[in-house]
Amino acid sequence: MALQTNNSNPDDHPLNLFHIKKTSLIINRLYILFHSIAIILIFYFRTTSIITILNSKSQPLIPHLLIFISELTLTFIWILNQAYYWRPITRTVFPDRLPEDEHLPAIDVFICTADPRAEPLLGVMNTVISAMALNYPPEKLCVYVSDDGGCHVTLEAMREALKFAKMWVPFCNKYGVSNICPDSYFAGPEVDEVVVDSDDEFTDERQMIKVEYESFAQKVNRASQSASCISNKDHSAFIEVLVDHESTHDETKMPLLVYVSREKRPSHHHHFKAGALNTLLRVSSLISNSPYILGLDCDMYCNDKNSARQAMCFHLDPKLSSSLAFVQFPQTFHNVVSKHNIYEGDLRCIFKTLWRGMDGIKGPCLSGTCYYLKREALYNPPSTQKDIKLEELKHCFGSSNEFISSLSKKYNGKLDCQKDSFYESLQETKHLASCEYENDTKWGHEVGFRYFSVVEDYFTSFNMHCKNWSSVHYMPSRPSFMGSCVTNLNDLLIQGTRWSAGLMEVALSRFSPLVYGSSRMSILQSFCYAWLAFFPAAFVSFWILSIVPPLSLLNNVTIYPKVTDPYFLVLVYVFVLSNLQHMREIHSTGASLHSWKHEQRVWMMKGITSYLYGSTHAIMEKLGFKEASFLPTNKVTNEDEEKLHQMGIYNFQTSSIFLVPLCSLVMLNLLAFVVTIIRITFYKVYINEVFVQMFLTFYVALMGYPLLEGMILRKDKGRIASNVSCYSLVFSFCIFSFGKFLVTY
Ligand SMILES: O=c1ccn([C@@H]2O[C@H](COP(=O)(O)OP(=O)(O)O[C@H]3O[C@H](CO)[C@@H](O)[C@H](O)[C@H]3O)[C@@H](O)[C@H]2O)c(=O)[nH]1
Ligand SMILES: [Mn+2]
C-alpha cells in the first residue's frame, strides 16, 4: 500500500492522508486487459457470422443483429464503468491536528423535508436533533429545515425538538455519547461505551432524558396524526428563527434552529429539492452565511458526532482547500438486512467502490445528502472574478441587495435576535423565498443547485467538476450518517425510475458527459459521469437478452456458437471472468457473497422496468410530452412489510406496470427452457447447438425465481395477485406470437 501525504505542513503533521489501493488497482487493470481481448474476439465472431448470413441467407438475420446490439450496448456501458476501477483510493484523517475551536469555520446544516405523510415527523426531528448535537462549537452551527410540505405541524414539532435538544445536547456532551440521534440511542444497548460502569448519576440522568424523549415523541406523533398534517401547495413564504424564551441562560450553547417554508403556488414550477435547497442557500446567507454547508435528507440522521471535524480535515488542508468543493460521506442505512439484502437498498457498489474509484480521479459525485459543501462552490468557479458590476450580479443572483452584499461578507456570528436589523433581514428572507425571486436570474442554471435534471445532486456536481472544482470521498469505520433504505419493490422501482429518468435526461442533452464533459475534465472523469448518465440504456440489452434467446429456442434458430466451437470458450470465459471480478469487488467491500445473487437480480428487475420507463420518460420529456416529477420515497415503515424484508422475501405489492413485464419475461424463459429440455430428451435435439441459449433462459428463470414463487406458491399479502399473473400470461403469449416473425426473419 503506497502512502502519500496530501499536505505540506512544515511540521509534517498533515490533516489527512490518502492511500492508493495497489492490489485492487493491479487486479482491476489486468481484468480490463483480459476482458477487452475477449470482447474483441466476440465482436469478430459476430461480424463474421452476420456477414456470412448476409451472403448465404442461410439463417434469419434479425436475431443476430439484435444480439449484436445488446452486446454493443453492454460493452459501451462496461467500458465507461472501468474508469471507476482505474485508481481506487482510501483516506485517513487526523482531527486532533485541527486548529482550536475559535478558528474553525461555521457550518449551516440544510435539512429538506417534503411531505409529512410520507416522511414521518419524528424521523425528521431526530435528524434535526442529531445535527444540533454534532461535536462542533454550537455558535458555529446553524440548522435550517426546509419544509416543502408547508405544514404548520412541522414547525410545532421543531419547537418541541428545540426544547428536547436543550437537554439532549448537554447530556451527550457531558457523557461523551457517540450515538447522538436520540431515537437510535434509546433503541440501542443500555450503556454508552464511554461511560464507566456503576455511574449512578449517568443512569439517573439517562432515565430522565429517556422519559423526556418518550413524551416528546408522543407529542410529535400525536401532532402528525392530526388532520392539519398535510401538504399545502399554495401558501406564501414563512420563515422563523426559533428562539426559546423560557430558558435564556444557555441560549448561546445551542446551535441556531431556523424553519423555512418557501412560497408555493400551483402555477409555479418549484423545482423540487433543488429549488428548496436554493431557497435555503439564500435565506441562510442573511442569517448565518456560514462558508460550509452540511446537506442532509430528512431521513438521514447524524450517527457520529465527529463528521464535521473529519470534513474540516480536508476543507482546511492548505493543499486541497482552494479547489475543494465538497467532502462526501457514504450514505449508510440502519435497516439493511445484511444476510437478505434483497433490494440492494444500501447501494453498496456506489458508495464503497465507485465513489472510491472516482475519488482517485478528481473526486466523487455529490450524493444528495451526507456532504460538507463549500458555499462558494455553488456561487462561483474557483477563480473568482473581482470587479463585477452590481448590475451583472443582480442579473445573476437576483434583485436583493442584502443577498448580494452577503456574497462578499464572511461569516461573522449569527444574527442578533435582539436588534432591529434582525427583523429587517427576516423580512428580506421572505422576499428571497418567494416564487418570483428566481425569475430572470441564473439560479438553478449557473448558480446554486441545478434544475436541469431531477437528480440535482448528480448534475450539480457534474457542473462543479466541469469548472475544475474537486471533491473528496471519506468513509470512516463508524458510519457518520444513517438513513433508511427502500424496503419494498415498489419504492425500489419508483426510485430507480426517477434516477434513470434524471440521468438519461442528462445523457441525451447537450450536457451529455461524453461531449460536454470531455473538454472540461479528464477522460476518466468524464467516463465516470457518462457511466452514471448512460447506465439506464442497459434496458436495451436486458429486453433483447430475455426475449431473443427463448424465442430462438422455441423457433429452432441458433444464434450462439456451438459447444464445440472455440468461440464458445470465449463466451464462457467472459461470463466466468466478469462474475469473478464482481465477486471480488463484493468481497473487497466486506459484504457477503449473497450480495452477488441479490445485486444481479435487482439489476435485472430494474433493467427491465425502471431503466426502460426512466429512459422513455426522459425521451418524452425531451419531445415535450411529459414533465419532470419527483415522487419522494415512502419513509413510513409498516410491520408486515418490515417482517417480509427481515425474512428476505420480496414484497410484490406494486403496480402491474412493473410486474407484468417481469413476470411475462420470466415465464417465457422458463417455457423455452422446459420445452428445450423435453426436446433434448425425447426428440434427440443436439444440446451442442442450443446450449448457450438454453443456459441464458435458465439463468433468467433462475434470477426470476422469486417472481415465479410470488405467482404460484405464495399466499401472503406480498404475493403477486392472480390478475397480474393472467395479464402476464397474455403478454408473454403476445411476445411469443409476434416474436416468431422477428426471430425467423
Ligand atoms: O419536492 C421535493 C422533493 C423531495 N424533497 C426532499 O428530498 C430528499 C430526498 O428525497 P427522497 O424521497 O428521500 O429520495 P431518495 O431517492 O431517497 O433520494 C436520493 O436521490 C435524490 C435525487 O433523486 C437525492 O436528492 C437524495 O439526496 C438521494 O438520497 C428528502 O429529504 C425530501 O424531503 C424536497 O425537499 N422537495
Ligand atoms: Mn431518501
SS (H, E, C) 457-498: HHHHHHHHHHCCCEEEECCCCCCCEEECCCCCHHHHHHHHHH
Residue ranges of the binding site for UDP-alpha-D-glucose:
119, 148
Q: Residue 693: CB within 6 Å of ligand 1?
A: no
Name the packing angle between helices 272-287 and 456-466 (round to 10°). Answer: 60
- The closest alpha carbon to 116, from 154, 163, 83, belongs to 154
- The C-alpha cell at 199 is 455511574
Q: So what's the pLDDT on residue 386?
A: 61
* Closest-CA residue to 462 (of 538, 537, 367, 346): 367
> What is the pLDDT at residue 414?
61
Q: Which is it for the CA torsion 588, 594, 596, 602, positive or negative?
A: negative
Nearest ligand for residue 633 CA:
1
- pLDDT, position 106: 96
Atom of ligand 1 nearest to the CA of 368: 27
What's the pLDDT score for residue 26?
Answer: 96
101 is catalytic: no
Listed as ranges, residues in the chain with pLDDT below 70 are 1-11, 190-198, 244-252, 380-387, 410-419
Distance between Cα 707 and ligand 1 center (Å)? 29
> What residue owns the CA closest to ligand 1's atom 34?
273
Distance 304 CA to ligand 1 centre (A): 22
Output the pLDDT for position 3.
47
Which atom of ligand 1 is nearest the CA belonging to 499? 23
The three three-digit cell numbers of residue 736, written as one number: 411469443
- Say what the pLDDT of residue 422 is: 76
484 ligand 1 Cβ < 6 A = no
Neighbours of ion ligand 2 (CB under 5 A): 297
| Distance of CA 75 from the midpoint of ligand 2 (Å) | 31
SS3 of 241, please? strand
Q: How confident is the model at residue 227, as a pLDDT?
A: 76
Alpha-carbon gap, residue 230 to 224, rounded angstroms: 9
Q: What are 327's strand-pairing partners?
A: 372, 472
Q: Output b/e per residue, 541-573; b: 16+ Cβ within 10 A.
A: bbbbbbbbbbbbbbbebbbbbeeeeebbebbeb
> Coil, helix or strand for 267?
coil
Catalytic residue among 317, 346, 359, 457: 457
> With a 6 A CB cut-off, is 630 part of the ligand 1 pocket?
yes
CB 652 within 8 A of CB 718: yes
Numbers of helices and strands, H then E, in the chain = 26, 13
- The Cα-based distances of 305 to 129, 134, 220, 314, 619 in angstroms read 12, 4, 24, 17, 44
* Strands of 61-203, DSSP E: 89-93, 107-113, 141-147
With a 6 A CB cut-off, is 272 part of the ligand 1 pocket? yes
Query: Which residues neighbour 435 within 8 Å (Cβ) at sequence distance 6 or greater?
Result: 262, 263, 264, 265, 268, 270
What's the pLDDT score for residue 10? Answer: 46
Cα(633) to centroid(ligand 2), Å: 6
- Ligand 1 binding pocket includes 628 (Cβ within 6 Å): no
By most ligand atoms within 8 Å of CB, the mutation choice from 109, 110, 112 for ligand 1 is: 112
Regarding the beta carbon of 494 and ligand 1, being less than 6 Å apart is answered: no
Quick one: which ligand is closest to 371's CA?
Answer: 1
Contacts of 440 (CB under 8 A, 6+ apart): 395
The CB of 495 under 6 Å from ligand 1? The reply is yes
Which atom of ligand 1 is found nearest the CA of 498? 23
| Grid cell in block for residue 644 | 417480509
Atom 23 of ligand 1, nearest CA residue: 455
**C-alpha to C-alpha distance for 311 and 292, rounded to whole angstroms:** 10
Give me ligand 2 centre to Cα 368, in Å: 9
Domain-wise residue ranges, the chain? 106-290+399-440, 540-744
Residue carrying the nine cell digits 459501451? 76
* CA dist list (Å): 682 to 624, 676, 678, 685, 692: 55, 10, 6, 8, 20
Distance between Cα 485 and ligand 2 center (Å) = 7
CA pair distance 525, 518, nearest whole angstrom: 8
Q: Is 501 in the pocket of ligand 1 (CB under 6 A)?
A: no
In degrees and rounded to multiples of 5, residue 720 shows phi and psi of -95, 125
Q: Which residue has its alpha carbon closest to ligand 1 atom 24?
A: 368
User: Is any atom of ligand 1 closer than 6 Å to the C-beta of 260?
Assistant: no
Q: How far is the CA of 488 from the centre of ligand 1 (A)?
A: 17
The reported pTM is: 0.94
CA 320 / ligand 1 centre spacing (Å): 29
- Selecting among 148, 183, 346, 359, the annotated active-site residue is 148
Substitution candidate for ligand 1 out of 231, 260, 297, 492 with most atoms within 8 A of CB: 297
**What ipTM was reported for this prediction?**
0.98
Q: Specify the DSSP class assigned to residue 353.
A: I
d(CA 219, CA 552): 63
Is residue 640 annotated as part of the catalytic site, yes or no? no
Place of cell 449484436: 68
The confidence score (pLDDT) of residue 743 equals 84
- Residue minimizing CA distance to atom 16 of ligand 1: 495
For residue range 680-738, list pLDDT tens digits in order. 998 877 888 899 999 999 999 999 999 999 999 999 999 999 999 999 999 999 999 99
C-alpha cell at 262: 418557501
